[in-house]
Chains A and B, each alone.
Chain A
Amino acid sequence: MKRLWQTRELSTVLILALEVLFFAWYLAPEGGRSHPFLNGPNALLILKYSSIYGIAAIGAAMVIISGGVDLAPGAVIALASVVLGGLFVESGWSLGASVSAAILVGLSCGVLTAVLVVLVGLPPFIATLGVMGIARGSAFILTEGRFIDVSGSLPRGWQPFGVPIDWIAPGAMIGLAIVFQILMVRFQWGRGIYAVGGNETAARFSGVGVGAVKTSVYVIAALLAAVSGVVLAIVQGQGKADLAMGYELDIIASAVVGGASLSGGRGSVIGAVLGTLIFGVLRNALPQIPGATFYDRLIVGLVVIVIVVMDQLLVRRGR
C-alpha cells in the first residue's frame, strides 16, 4: 500500500489486456464483418454486467484485507433486488425511495454481521454464513419465490441525471473503486484496515480501534453489495430471491485474483475490480466460441488457480 497504484495492479491490468488481445485474435471475424467481441457496445455490456460483481467486490476486498471473509454478498444482492422490486413495482413507491430502502436493508445486514463478528466474537466465516442464510431466506419469504418484473415499470429511454442507463452501473463501479482506493491508501482508516489484517494483536497494542475497523468494513461491504443488488435489479430489470446465487465465491475469487491474500493484510480495491473485469471478459467471450459453452466454469476455475500460483511464485522470488 505504498502508492495509489502499485506494480501488483499493473500485473492485473496486464493479464486483462492479454486476455482481451487473445479473444480479439481468436474471435476475429473473416473478411470485413464486424468484430463480435471487440466493439463498443460489447465493451459496455461487459462493463455493465461486471459492475454487479465489481461494486460488491470493492467491499469484499476490504473485508479480506482486514483478515476476514464475507459469504453474504450474493444473498444481500438478491435481497436488495427483491426489496427494490417489491416496493417500486408492487407497492408503488417512488424509485428513489425504493432504492434507499434496498440499500438500508443491505446496511442492516452489515450491522448484523458486525455485531456477530465484533461483539459476539464469531469467526467471520460463520457469521457471514448465517447472515447469508438470513438474507437469502428473507428474500424468499418476502417474494414467496415470485419473479418481480422491474424493467416493465422503468420509464422507456430513462436517463437518470441525464446519463444513459447503461452507463450508470459502470460509472458507479469506477467511481466507487476510485473513492475507496483513495480511502484505503491515503487515509488513516485504510491504514488501520491493513494493520488489522496484517497483525490484529499488534494493531490493538498500537492503538488501532480494531472493533471500529471491523465494524466499518462489514457494514460497507454489505452496503456495497446492496448497491450491486440495485444495479442488478435495474440492469437486468428484475427482482428475484434466487438471483446472484454463488456470486459470493466469484467475488472472493475476483479479489484474490486482484492480489488480495485470504490471510489478510494484502490486496487492493482496484485489484478486486480489475479481477471482476477479468472474469467479466471470460463470461462474455467464452459463449461466443462454438462448443465452449460447457467449459466456462472449468476455465474460470483454472484461471483463478493459474493467476494465484503465478502471483505466489513472483512474491517468493521477490523475497
Chain B
Amino acid sequence: MSSAAVSFRDVRKSFGGVRALDGVSFDVAAGDAHALVGENGAGKSTLLKILSGSLRPDNGELAIDGRPASFAGPRDALTQGIGIVHQEMLAFPDLSVSANIFAGRELTRWGMLREREMRDRTRALLERLHVPFSPDTLAGALPAAYRQLVQVARALAFDCRVLALDEPTTSLTDAEVDDLFAVLNDLRQRGVTLIYVSHRLPELFELCERITVLRDGHHVGTFDRAATRSDQIVRAMVGRDLPPRVADSSAGPRASDQPLLEIAGLTRRPAFEQVSLSVRPGEIVCLFGLVGSGRSELLETLFGLYTPEAGSVRVLDRTSVPASPRDAARAGMALVPEDRQNQGLFFNLDLRHNLVLSREMARGSLCVRDRLERSEAQEMLRTWNVKAPGVEAYPDSLSGGNQQKVVLARWLALGPRVLLMDEPTKGVDVGAKFEIHSIIRRQAAAGSACLIASSDLPEVLELAHRVVVMREGRIRGEIAGEHADEERVMRLATAEPGAAA
C-alpha cells in the first residue's frame, strides 16, 4: 500500500444556502485509479474544482503527497502537478492542437513563441496517445473524442502526477473509450494517479481499483473493486434500492397498426443518405450509431430544422416534410434535443416559461396567460417529478437530471404522437435515467411512436422494441428488440466501410 497522493480532509463548500460539500474526507493512494461517483448534485464537480484550484474550500484542507496544498488558481494547480480533463470542452476551437495544449504556458524565448519546439513536443505527446492528427490541426475541426484527448495531452505536457477526468467518455464511442483506457492504463504504469468521474459503472469497474461514492455533499464510502458489486455502488449513490424494473406492461406495437411515422429515402448529404424507416404506435425504436453516424442530423431534419435533399416523410396523415419545428410540432411531433444546455433551456427565463414555451408557440396563441400557465407549469413539475423550488425558479438552480426532465416535460406538454429523442439520458444520474426510461415507456404505452437516438448500448437494449443501426449516414441493419445483444448491434455499427452489413 503506497502513501496518499491526494487527501481531502473535512472539505466543506457552500454556494449561497446550498451545501455542495459537507465535510468530505478521503485519500487517493499514489498510483491508483480512483473512481468518484454520485448522482448529479452530489458534489463531484465541486470537489474536482477544489482539486484543480478553481474553487477554494470554505473549510478543511487538501493535501498533495501528504503536504497541505492551497492553490491560487487552476494554473497554480497545474504547475504543482494536478491536471484536469473537463467535462465541457474547454478547447480553443480556432487555435491549433499544439496552441491548445500550451495555452497559458507557451514556450517562449525573449517573449517570442517557440512554435517549432511546441509542435515537436505536441507531436511526441500525440504519438504517445496513439492519435492520428497533426499538431497543426484546428482543435474545432476535431471530433469530440479527439478533443478529450487534446485535454489529456495538455495535462501530460505539464508532467502531471495526478490526472482527474470528469466524465471523459460521455460523447465517446466504445472503441474510443477502449483507446482512452489504453492511454490511461499506460499513464498509470508510469506512476500517474488517476481520479475518474463517471456515471458509467462498468467503466469504473474496468479501470479503477477503488470507488468513492458521494451523496448530497457527504462521503458515503470508499469501496474496493474486488469486494464490491455494482448494485452496492448504485445503492450507495441513491441511498435506497432502485425499484425493480417495471415489467414492460404495454403490449408493444401491433403489427397490424398503421405506422405513425414513415420515412422513405430521406437524404441530406453529407449527414445521411437513403434513410427509410417506420415507427408504429406504441413502438420504441432505438436508433443506435456512433458519434458521426448521422442520427442527430436525421432527427433534426425530421423535426424541420433542416431541409432534406430528397425523400419523403409521413407523420400521421400528413405527407410533407415539416418546414420548421413549429410545423413539426403542429403535425404531432416533438424532439427532445441532445444538448440541453445549448439546445434546450432558456437560462434567462423561469421554469414556467421554459415549460410552456413550445406548446404555446405551436398553438400560435397570441397572449401570455400568466395565471393559467403558472398553474399548468406547477402541474407539470408534479407530474414529471421535477425537483425544483417552484415555477419561478430558474433552470440553473436545478441538477442535470431535473433540467433534462424540464426539457422533456416541455415537449410532452404538446401531447406528441411521434416522440423523437436524442440521447435522452446523456449525463444524467442513475435515478433520473430510470425515471426518464419509465416516462418513455409510459408514452409508448399511451400509443405514441418513439424514435430514440442513443449511443448508450445498455439503454438501447433495455428500451427498444426494435434497434435500427446507423453508420456513416446510412441504415446498416435492424434487429428486433428481443434478438438484440451488444455484439450484434456493435458489429453493425462498427463494420469496416465497404463490408456487407
A191 within 8 A of B: yes
Contact B368 A199 (CB under 8 A): no
Contact A191 B357 (CB under 8 A): yes
Residue in B closest to A185 when the chains form the complex, CB atoms: B368
Among A191, A198, A206, A266, contact of B368 (Cβ-Cβ < 8 Å): A191
Minimum CB–CB distance for B360 against chain A, Å: 6
- Report how far A185 CA is from B345 CA in the complex, Å: 19
Question: Do A202 and B342 form a contact, CB below 8 Å, given A207-B325, A207-B329, A319-B16?
Answer: yes
- Report how far A1 CA is from B394 CA in the complex, Å: 12
A35 within 8 A of B: no
Q: Interface readout for A192-215 with B: 1 if CB under 8 Å, 0 if not? A: 101101110111111111000000
Contact B358 A198 (CB under 8 A): no
Among A2, A202, A265, contact of B344 (Cβ-Cβ < 8 Å): A202
A-contacting residues, B329-353, CB 8 Å: 329, 335, 337, 342-350, 353
- Report how far A204 CA is from B343 CA in the complex, Å: 8
Q: Interface readout for A208-237 with B: 1 if CB under 8 Å, 0 if not? A: 110000000000000000000000000000
- Residues in A neighbouring B346, C-beta threshold 8 A: 194-195, 198-199, 202-203, 265
- Residues in B neighbouring A202, C-beta threshold 8 A: 337, 342-346
B463 within 8 A of A: no
- Report how far A29 CA is from B272 CA in the complex, Å: 79
Contact B343 A205 (CB under 8 A): yes
B490 within 8 A of A: no
Among B335, B357, B365, B366, contact of A208 (Cβ-Cβ < 8 Å): B357
Question: Do A206 and B410 form a contact, CB below 8 Å, given A199-B346, A199-B347?
Answer: yes
- Report how far A68 CA is from B183 CA in the complex, Å: 45
B220 within 8 A of A: no
| Residue in A198, A209, A266 whose Cβ sees the most chain B Cβ within 10 Å | A198
Minimum CB–CB distance for A24 against chain B, Å: 37
Minimum CB–CB distance for B349 against chain A, Å: 6
Question: Do A206 and B392 form a contact, CB below 8 Å, given A185-B368, A199-B345, A199-B347?
Answer: no
Q: Interface readout for B271-311 with A: 1 if CB under 8 Å, 0 if not? A: 00000000000000000000000000000000101000000
The total of chain A residues at the interface (CB under 8 A) is 27
Residue in B closest to A199 when the chains form the complex, CB atoms: B346
Contact A205 B367 (CB under 8 A): no
- Report how far A185 CA is from B349 CA in the complex, Å: 12
Give the size range of B's interface with the partner: 20 to 34
Among A186, A194, A205, contact of B325 (Cβ-Cβ < 8 Å): A205
A125 within 8 A of B: no
- Report how far A247 CA is from B302 CA in the complex, Å: 46
Contact B366 A205 (CB under 8 A): no
- Report how far A194 CA is from B350 CA in the complex, Å: 11
B-contacting residues, A143-194, CB 8 Å: 185-188, 190-192, 194
- Report how far A204 CA is from B342 CA in the complex, Å: 11
Q: Interface readout for A252-277 with B: 1 if CB under 8 Å, 0 if not? A: 00000000000011100000000000
- Report how far A312 CA is from B208 CA in the complex, Å: 44
A-contacting residues, B414-435, CB 8 Å: none
Minimum CB–CB distance for A182 against chain B, Å: 10
Minimum CB–CB distance for B398 against chain A, Å: 14
Contact A207 B367 (CB under 8 A): no
- Report how far A202 CA is from B349 CA in the complex, Å: 12
Residue in B closest to A265 when the chains form the complex, CB atoms: B348
Minimum CB–CB distance for B496 against chain A, Å: 35
- Report how far A185 CA is from B368 CA in the complex, Å: 8
Contact A186 B357 (CB under 8 A): no
Minimum CB–CB distance for A287 against chain B, Å: 39
Among B361, B366, B392, contact of A207 (Cβ-Cβ < 8 Å): B361
B170 within 8 A of A: no
Among B16, B329, B349, B362, contact of A198 (Cβ-Cβ < 8 Å): B349
Question: Do A209 and B324 form a contact, CB below 8 Å, given A188-B366, A188-B368, A191-B357?
Answer: yes
Among B347, B348, B360, contact of A188 (Cβ-Cβ < 8 Å): B360
Minimum CB–CB distance for A181 against chain B, Å: 13
- Residues in B neighbouring A2, C-beta threshold 8 A: 350, 392
Q: Interface readout for B71-114 with A: 1 if CB under 8 Å, 0 if not? A: 00000000000000000000000000000000000000000000
Among B305, B329, B350, B364, contact of A204 (Cβ-Cβ < 8 Å): B305
- Residues in A neighbouring B361, C-beta threshold 8 A: 188, 192, 206-209
Among B342, B360, B362, B392, contact of A191 (Cβ-Cβ < 8 Å): B360
- Residues in B neighbouring A266, C-beta threshold 8 A: 348
- Report how far A72 CA is from B225 CA in the complex, Å: 65
B56 within 8 A of A: no
Contact A198 B326 (CB under 8 A): no
Question: Do A1 and B325 form a contact, CB below 8 Å, given A185-B368, A188-B368, A205-B305?
Answer: no
- Report how far A131 CA is from B350 CA in the complex, Å: 35
Contact A195 B305 (CB under 8 A): no
Question: Do A186 and B349 form a contact, CB below 8 Å, given A204-B305, A205-B335, A206-B358?
Answer: no
| Residue in A199, A207, A209 whose Cβ sees the most chain B Cβ within 10 Å | A207
- Residues in B neighbouring A201, C-beta threshold 8 A: 342-343
- Residues in A neighbouring B366, C-beta threshold 8 A: 187-188
| Residue in A2, A191, A199, A206 whose Cβ sees the most chain B Cβ within 10 Å | A206
Contact B344 A198 (CB under 8 A): no
- Residues in B neighbouring A264, C-beta threshold 8 A: 348
- Report how far A194 CA is from B349 CA in the complex, Å: 8
- Residues in B neighbouring A186, C-beta threshold 8 A: 367-368, 370
- Report how far A205 CA is from B367 CA in the complex, Å: 21
- Residues in A neighbouring B370, C-beta threshold 8 A: 186
B-contacting residues, A259-302, CB 8 Å: 264-266
Minimum CB–CB distance for B76 against chain A, Å: 24
Minimum CB–CB distance for A8 against chain B, Å: 13
Among B305, B342, B362, contact of A199 (Cβ-Cβ < 8 Å): B342
- Residues in A neighbouring B348, C-beta threshold 8 A: 194, 197-199, 264-266
Contact B365 A188 (CB under 8 A): yes
- Residues in B neighbouring A207, C-beta threshold 8 A: 324-326, 328-329, 358, 361-362
Minimum CB–CB distance for A118 against chain B, Å: 14
- Report how far A190 CA is from B305 CA in the complex, Å: 22
- Report how far A197 CA is from B337 CA in the complex, Å: 19
Minimum CB–CB distance for A140 against chain B, Å: 39
- Residues in A neighbouring B392, C-beta threshold 8 A: 2
Contact A198 B347 (CB under 8 A): yes
| Residue in B326, B346, B392, B410 whose Cβ sees the most chain A Cβ within 10 Å | B346
Residue in A closest to B364 when the chains form the complex, CB atoms: A188
Contact B367 A187 (CB under 8 A): yes
Question: Do A206 and B342 form a contact, CB below 8 Å, given A187-B366, A198-B349?
Answer: no
Contact B353 A191 (CB under 8 A): yes
B residues adjacent to A (C-beta < 8 A) = 16, 303, 305, 324-326, 328-329, 335, 337, 342-350, 353, 357-358, 360-362, 364-368, 370, 392, 410
CB-CB nearest 10 A-B residue pairs: A265-B348, A198-B348, A207-B326, A207-B361, A198-B346, A207-B325, A206-B358, A205-B343, A207-B329, A199-B346
Instruction: Pick 13 A–B contacts, CB within 8 A, sort by A.
Output: A1-B353, A2-B350, A187-B368, A188-B368, A190-B368, A194-B353, A195-B346, A195-B357, A202-B346, A206-B410, A207-B324, A207-B358, A319-B16
In the complex, given contacts A194-B346, A204-B325, A206-B361, what are 15 additional A-B residue pairs having Cβ atoms less than 8 angstroms apart?
A: A1-B353, A188-B361, A188-B364, A188-B366, A191-B357, A198-B347, A198-B348, A199-B346, A201-B342, A205-B337, A206-B357, A208-B361, A209-B326, A265-B347, A265-B348
